[in-house]
Amino acid sequence: MAHAFEIADSRSTLFDALLRAARRFGPRKPILEDQERRPLSYVDLIRASFALGRKIANVTAPGETVGLLLPSSAGGVVTVFALHAYGRVPAMLNFTAGLRNLRAAVKLAGVKRVLTSHRFIEQGKLHDLIDALEERCEITYLEDVRASIGTVDRLRALTASLFPRQARARLKPSDPGVVLFTSGSFGAPRGVVLSHANILANVAQVAAHIDLDPDWVLFNPLPIFHCFGLTAGAMLPIFTGMKAFEYPSPLHIKIIPALVKDSKASILLATDTFVNQYARAAGGDELAGLKFIVCGAEKVREETHNLIADRFGPVPVLEGYGATEASPVIAVNKPEDNRRGTVGALLPGIETRIIPVPGIDRGGRLLVRGPNVMTGYLNAGGALEPPEDGWHDTGDVVEMSNDSWITILGRVKRFAKIGGEMVSLTAAEDLAAGLWPEARHAVIAVPDGKKGERLILITDRRDADVAKLVTHAHAVGASELAVPRRIIKTTEIPVLGSGKTDYVAIQRMAGAEGLAA
């Protein structure tokens, strides 16, 4: 199959890539849909972008960073392109991050205006977020903007869509394409600036790595404020001719499987947690029509692989790996070569360095460089700090095979020193998952006066027991140092909006138990 997106396309801007895709796949091809079930074609998307973008341009300045507080939806994607059509920069605000992080994000990115939706705020009961943002930002509701679009505006948008290259803003591939905020798994989020070229390079890399059919439908329930949801869930399908089906929340466990089938989805993006829940809730063959599932943000458990295979047949669950700073995909498995326990093969065009970590015998700290690596972080003054010599330190300890397949051993900060030995907290989590595969687990380290640090397991397994864990460790030949000696049982393991385990919240849980330093 010919690749639907060429490397040359990455030397462009996002709006020009949209125009190029419309020419390649046909302007009337349906390309974007959501739960409202009103598909938009390329020409619909382009026209809507000009109509909405002109109105937003009237209240913003060229080059201004504009906050988006929106769910994954057709309207959310249109708004991103509307800003690009008139040379504005979207800053994707995480509405699950909490008031403090949201305030910090708009201050860091210099956001003066936030675009959102009455319906979204009402349904999500997010009025407290709006109250917090109004302290420093103008709030604009898209329903009000759309209501103000009259006949003259529509005629102008129609004219612009007929001559889009003349009507759109003149931008460079190196210009900021989006401001995103890291998930904050271990602390405060950081502002990441990705250029148009960064995002388009990552689309090109994925398209060169996995054959994608323009007749496919990609179902995305992940938030577009997260880089995986934005790049893989929206930009990748639109630029490669696949229809992007956007769904506003991955938490609608009973609704999504039926909608996956009804939308004739070929690819599902999710996390291990959600895929496992969808598989259990799905009726009949609701996930059997998928070509494959792609998971990021967290490790895919053997239990999830087996559950999908047992219930829905040969639907590969492809584990991938990335970072917001890399636009985000760094590696991913392939449908025809899916190696469980790895995060797949390195994407083309990415250089790597693996730096030994003192005390850790296997693998090393992964640094990456390539056209998809960010323009830089925003510092406290709003200035851009580019990565040194283009290298991004992922903070992950990995092993890489001779054919560039990557296995994640853990984050550098996810190692504990116990009795003088470095112990991977990820390995400790895997130990619990091997014994209780259907449950969710997280392991943290806290100071210990005798051994330096000790491990605590937080789990939703109600009968979890240290003695059983020790016996299992002996059976599989694992070190006893990797066995948590204290267990906290909870009804639910906290996760971030991106689907990653929220270790900050888990540390607070441990503190509430009187266990933190």
The conformational region for residue 384 under phi > 0 = left, psi -120 to 50 = alpha, else beta, is beta
Domain endpoint, select from 148, 179, 197: 197
What average pLDDT does the segment 77-96 reach?
Answer: 95
Residue 514: pLDDT band (50, 70, 90) is very low
How many Å apart are CA 361 and CA 121, to the nearest integer?
Answer: 49
Q: Does 495 map to a domain? A: yes
pLDDT given for residue 19 in this prediction:
96
User: How high is the mean pLDDT of the chain?
Assistant: 88
pLDDT given for residue 511 in this prediction:
67
Q: Does 475 map to a domain? A: yes
pLDDT tens, residue by residue, 131-148: 989 988 999 999 999 999
**Stretch among 156-170, 226-240, 416-430 having the lowest mean pLDDT:** 416-430
What average pLDDT does the segment 306-314 reach?
Answer: 92
**pLDDT > 90? residue 485:** no
Give kind and range of the element (H or E) at residue 38. none
Cα angle 502-506-510, degrees, rounded to a multiple of 5: 170
Domain of 185, CATH number, reads 3.40.50.12780
Parallel/antiparallel/unpaired status of strands 191-195 and 376-378: antiparallel
Two tokens at 379? 């510092």
Domain endpoint, select from 181, 197, 213: 197
Domain endpoint, select from 152, 167, 197: 197
Please list, in sequence order, all residues whose beta carbon lies within 8 angstroms of the beta carbon of residue 163, skipping any fewer than 6 positions away.
Answer: none
How many Å apart are CA 59 and CA 68, to the nearest integer?
Answer: 15
Domain of 438, CATH number, reads 3.30.300.30
Q: Does 367 map to a domain? A: no
Q: Does 43 map to a domain? A: yes
Q: Does 278 map to a domain? A: no
In the chain, the number of structural domains is 2
**pLDDT > 70? residue 169:** yes
Two tokens at 338? 């899916």
Distance of CA 55 to the CA centre of its chain: 29
Residue 444 vs residues 270, 414, 419, 459, 500: alpha-carbon distances, Å: 25, 8, 16, 11, 15
Q: Does 69 map to a domain? A: yes
Percentage of residues in the chain having pLDDT higher than 90: 60
Q: Does 517 map to a domain? A: no
Q: Does 336 map to a domain? A: no
Distance of CA 516 to the CA centre of its chain: 30
**pLDDT > 70? residue 207:** yes
Residue 187: pLDDT band (50, 70, 90) is low
Residue 41: pLDDT band (50, 70, 90) is very high
The residue written with tokens 């291990």 in the block is: 272
Nearest Cα neighbor of 209 from 118, 344, 302 is 344
Q: Global pTM?
A: 0.84
Contact call for residues 184 and 101 (beta carbons, < 8 A)? yes
Contact call for residues 232 and 269 (beta carbons, < 8 A)? yes
pLDDT given for residue 491 in this prediction:
86
Task: Quote the domain boundaries for residue 99.
Answer: 1-197
pLDDT given for residue 333 in this prediction:
97
How many Å apart are CA 35 and CA 28, to the nearest integer?
Answer: 20
Distance of CA 495 to the CA centre of its chain: 13
Contact call for residues 454 and 446 (beta carbons, < 8 A)? yes
